[in-house]
Amino acid sequence: MTLNTSEVLVRKTDGAMKSLGDYRGQVLLIVNVASKCGFTKQYAALQALQDKYVGENFLVLGFPCNDFGNQEPGTLDEIQEFCSTTYGVKFELFDKVHARGQTTEPYTTLNQFKQGGDVEWNFEKFLIGKDCKVIARFKSNIEPESNEIKTAIESAING
């Protein structure tokens, strides 16, 4: 099954809607993030990925999610402040979402990819190709700096 995200609308932190299709031509790593999770340190590695590949049409998009253990209880302003001051995050963060149960976009669509089903925990990652199609899904324990993720990103950039 080919999963295309070009029609998916997501809510920016200012409340405006944005289509993932607006990112066509760029490789995206979409991540559900949380500030009080054991995986929170991945913020730094996600920013490092963006810094490494940004000149090659690569972006990380973060979607705060409070579905798992109430680990993202803050307001959007608090989340942005925490991410920037603690981990130097400059990648785009969006409005809070639901990644399981009664999902909201982008997860209503992303959860249909391959090893389908709802996201299982914070910091699950989806790699989206330049054509807006989902390429890969990485569980939370797969670190952003892993060879598996870097190889997939480089293949998508060069593919």
Number of domains in the chain: 1
Given a contact cutoff of 8 angstroms between Cβ atoms, the answer to whether 133 and 4 are in contact is: yes
Whether pLDDT at 3 is above 90: no
Catalytic: 37? yes
Residue 114, pLDDT score = 75
Regarding beta strands 9-11 and 92-93, do their DSSP bridges make them parallel or antiparallel, or are they unpaired?
unpaired
**Beta bridge pairs of residue 59:** 28
In a domain, 80, yes or no: yes
Domain-located, residue 128:
yes
- 93 within 8 A of 33, measured Cβ to Cβ: yes
Q: Is the pLDDT of residue 47 over 80?
A: yes
Q: What is the residue type of 117?
A: G
**pLDDT band, very low/low/confident/very high, at 143 (cuts 50, 70, 90):** very high
Domain of residue 14, CATH code: 3.40.30.10
Is residue 155 a part of any domain in this protein? Answer: no
pLDDT of 131 reads 95
For 53, phi then psi, to 5°, come to -110, 0
In a domain, 79, yes or no: yes
53 within a domain of the structure (yes/no): yes
Per the domain annotation, does 99 fall within a domain? Answer: yes
Q: Determine what percent of the chain is predicted with pLDDT higher than 90.
A: 90
In a domain, 51, yes or no: yes
Any domain includes 4: no
Q: Give the model's pLDDT for residue 33.
A: 97
46 contacts 140 by C-beta, under 8 angstroms: no
For tokens 């209503």, name the residue.
Answer: 108
Number of neighbours of residue 68 by Cβ within 10 angstroms:
20
- What span, in angstroms and rounded, lies between the C-alpha atoms of 17 and 54? 23
Percent of the chain past pLDDT 70, that is, above it, reads 98
Average pLDDT over residues 72-76: 94
Domain that holds residue 131: 9-146
| pLDDT above 90 for 159 | no
**Among residues 37, 65, 83, 132, which one is catalytic?**
37
